[in-house]
Structure 1
Amino acid sequence: MDVNLGILISAMGTALGAVPALLLSNLSHRFKDNLLAYSAGIMVAASTYALIPATLKLSNMLVLTLGILLGTLTLTLLELLLPHVEADHRNHPSHQANPLLLITAMAIHNIPEGLSVGVSYASQFEELGSLVAFSIGLQNLPEGFLVCLFLVANRVSRAKAFLYTAFTGVIELISSLAGLQLTDQYLGLVPYGLAFAAGAMLFVVYKELIPESHGDGNERSATFAFVLGLLTMIFITDLSL
């Protein structure tokens, strides 16, 4: 897949996922939790079966460890320092969301996802960029759906909800291009960038997606959804590499 096309398709996943949210309402909390868990499974598989093995092939365990810890620490600091609100996907929210705060939260998540796509395309593994771009785009579909649905439920107009959600995809597009340009000019950063992206994605999974998918008594169905997402991405990885 062409680099620019792959980056664009990956970033567009958020906007595409938002479209059905404009048409649907009154979805069960179980359905939303299962979507979150499915996304978590995709991200874990993308990290452990694509980004981490590629890092080890290009470098060593020390680089992997440093990169993952740096990614985790960076996301921790961003969450502590940047004002934001997490999307609480309750059926009947009790307060009106501030779209700017939610966009900040999405940016915290989307920047490392975009970087992972850009860095993967800059690596020497021809199929890695397309694989990571596809996996990120795939998990962006339910992510965009849930964010747009959350905004609509908080009395944001459907047009604005779509635009806000699509804008988070633009943030991911910019970070993808930044990751591509930076590591393309400094190839020695590629393994660090891959490990950084893996650590940041695993942080999002464990800190945000899994706890939220288990927060309303849907642990069992969410667990099966997580495994299904994991298997989906492993299957795609097996076909691609």
Structure 2
Amino acid sequence: MLFKLILFSAFAGITVFIGGLLANVFDHHVTDSPVKYEFIHTSMSFGAGIILSALAFVLLPKGMEVLSVWGVTGSFLSGAILFMLLDRKLAESNSQQATLLAMMMDFVPESIALGAVFAIEPQLSLLLALFIGLQNLPESFNAFRDMVQSGFSVKRTLTIFFGLSFFGVISALIGHFLLSEHPNLTAHLMILASGGILYLLIQDIIPASKLDKSYLTSLGATLGFLVGIFGEMLI
């Protein structure tokens, strides 16, 4: 049984590295053109839609089932303020890592939730792993490009992404062994992540995905959210 959990969470995590590889290939082997830039911005908005769906269908609902209104309010505001401070710090250093932060903010809590529910509903864990893996692809694609543009080398960025891909397994094991009997703590973590994700979406990711005279970017966000709807209905 434990092997299955490791397998599920490994799949959810390895897509972080795969998304980075795809972004590297795309940047170096696709000729610059208006179509290329439109694809890039549409993929950014698609990833934003998936992140938003994770917040709307997984993190917030699961946390709200457990916590009181004051518990939700406190954790949500704490997450928003925490990531406002982190975002401000990154802005002062001219870094462009908001997409990476947002990706990890839903990747880690969802992986913890995957591990926490595995012992009770293994099939739910499988579908959750598929959902996490799908949303990691466009998120890591965009995060890779952001990091390279902010000054990281391709080799260093891919190395970081390879390391981050194991966070899914680590988080799932933490959820399974440490948090499966502490639903309140898990719920606070999910709501905290929700506040941070929403701040980053509004402040950085959605504005950056906007492209003048292009309507596909908004459609991309809508399709990304639709992926979340499919995932929620399948789960």
TM category, shorter: 0.7 to 0.9
Structure 1's unaligned 5+ residue stretches are 88-101
Aligned counterparts of 1:13 and 1:19: Cα–Cα separation in 2: 10
- Displacement after TM superposition at 1:206 (Å): 1.7
Counterpart of 1:227 in structure 2 is 222
- Displacement after TM superposition at 1:173 (Å): 5.7
Question: Structure 1 residues 148-157 or 68-77, which shifts more?
Answer: 148-157
- The code of the aligned residue for 2:226 comes to L
Aligned counterparts of 2:6 and 2:125: Cα–Cα separation in 1: 11
Counterpart of 1:66 in structure 2 is 74
Aligned counterparts of 1:50 and 1:130: Cα–Cα separation in 2: 15
- Displacement after TM superposition at 1:140 (Å): 1.9
Aligned-residue identity in percent: 23
Could you list the per-position Cα deviations for residues 21-41 of structure 1 after superposition, in whole angstroms to 9, with x for gaps in the alignment? Answer: 333333522111111111111
Listed as ranges, the matches of 1:146-185 within 5 Å are 146-149=142-145, 158-170=154-166, 174=170, 183-184=179-180
Aligned counterparts of 2:220 and 2:168: Cα–Cα separation in 1: 25
Listed as ranges, the matches of 1:179-198 within 5 Å are 183-184=179-180, 186-198=182-194
- Displacement after TM superposition at 1:74 (Å): 1.7
Question: Structure 1 residues 165-174 or 61-70, which shifts more?
Answer: 165-174
Counterpart of 1:45 in structure 2 is 53
SS at match of 1:224: helix
Aligned counterparts of 2:192 and 2:130: Cα–Cα separation in 1: 19
- Displacement after TM superposition at 1:56 (Å): 2.4
State the TM-score, normalized to the length of structure 2.
0.76
Question: Structure 1 residues 8-17 or 133-142, which shifts more?
Answer: 133-142
2:17 aligned residue (2, 9, 15): 15
Aligned counterparts of 2:134 and 2:49: Cα–Cα separation in 1: 11
Cα distance change on mapping 1:70 and 1:132 into 2, 3 Å: farther
| Preserved CA contact (<8 Å) 2:20 2:144 | yes
| Preserved CA contact (<8 Å) 1:131 1:237 | no
Counterpart of 2:138 in structure 1 is 142
Matched, 1:116 2:109: yes
- Displacement after TM superposition at 1:159 (Å): 4.1
- Displacement after TM superposition at 1:146 (Å): 3.0
| Preserved CA contact (<8 Å) 1:111 1:172 | no
Cα RMSD of the aligned pairs, angstroms, is: 3.3
Counterpart of 1:98 in structure 2 is none
Question: Structure 1 residues 39-48 or 76-85, which shifts more?
Answer: 76-85
- Displacement after TM superposition at 1:174 (Å): 5.0
- Displacement after TM superposition at 1:108 (Å): 3.3
Structure 2's unaligned 5+ residue stretches are none
- Displacement after TM superposition at 1:147 (Å): 3.8
Counterpart of 1:97 in structure 2 is none
- The code of the aligned residue for 2:217 comes to A
- The code of the aligned residue for 2:220 comes to A
Aligned counterparts of 2:136 and 2:52: Cα–Cα separation in 1: 14
Cα distance change on mapping 1:182 and 1:210 into 2, 3 Å: farther
- Displacement after TM superposition at 1:210 (Å): 0.5
State the TM-score, normalized to the length of structure 1.
0.74
Aligned counterparts of 1:200 and 1:108: Cα–Cα separation in 2: 9
Counterpart of 1:54 in structure 2 is 62
1:209 aligned residue (205, 210, 232): 205
- Displacement after TM superposition at 1:142 (Å): 1.8
Cα distance change on mapping 1:130 and 1:196 into 2, 3 Å: farther
